[in-house]
Amino acid sequence: MNSQSHAEIPSTPRKLGFYGGAFDPPHLAHLALAKHAMTHLNLDALYVVPTGHAGHKTPSKTPAVDRLAMLSLTFAGLANVVMDDRETRRAGPSFTVDSLNELQAEHPHAQWFLIIGEDQAQSFEGWRDWQKIVAMAQVVVVARAAGDPVAPSESKWHNRGVPNAIDLAFPAMDISATRIREALEQGRSISQWVHPNVNDYIQHHHLYRQTR
């Protein structure tokens, strides 16, 4: 596996998280959620998996090498995070079910937690082999609800086929990659939304400057 790790995970991990996304660019809400998930799910390690060519989404605006570099800068201070680039190296469309299948084979004794947002949850049943995904991993829906940080899901997205989904309560943060890209295209500052080193990287490499 050609991945970058900020710390060695236990040789026999018990609980592992899968946190996928375009991360185009990665921002402080991504980092805050990772910390929150690792704490409240008691994860031994969190795999951060940037998408390659996601079959159900439009292609990322930024090359994988830049997104991986920015992710490494964002998560540099967080222990037990694994930057996993398998999806960016995979030829053709890349699907979560394939990555989970590979990771499960690499860590057969671990319990996997798939962390997704409420927007992803709404379309989850359109994902490739979603039934196989819920058989391999505990689905965790990041919710804006208050109360118990980890609780059985009350979301309306899932049907009887996935009764074991849980909500992970997380305070709303007014940050999005879309908003960041729009600000950059308009020449506005994004320093309040991204890690300082990511801001420097974006400026140095002139990312997200194209006119829509």
CA angle 173, 146, 165 (to 5 degrees): 95
pLDDT in tens, 8-44: 666 677 999 999 999 999 999 999 999 999 999 999 9
For residue range 87-103, list pLDDT tens digits in order.
999 888 889 999 999 99
Give per-residue pLDDT as tens, 41-75: 999 999 999 998 655 555 677 999 999 999 999 99
Band the pLDDT of 83: cuts 50, 70, 90.
very high
pTM for the whole thing?
0.87
Predicted confidence at residue 212, as pLDDT, reads 42
Instruction: State in Å, rounded, how far the first CA of the chain is from the last one.
Output: 37
- Strand 150-152 and strand 166-169: the pairing is antiparallel
What structural domains does the chain harbor?
Answer: 3-174 (3.40.50.620)
In the prediction, which pLDDT does 155 show? 55
Helix 196-205 vs helix 64-74: crossing angle, to nearest 10: 160
Q: In this structure, are strands 137-143 and 166-169 parallel, antiparallel, or unpaired?
A: parallel
Supply the mean pLDDT for the chain: 86
How far is residue 53's CA from residue 57's CA, in Å, rounded to a whole number? 8
- Residue 78 contacts residue 31 (beta carbons within 8 Å): yes
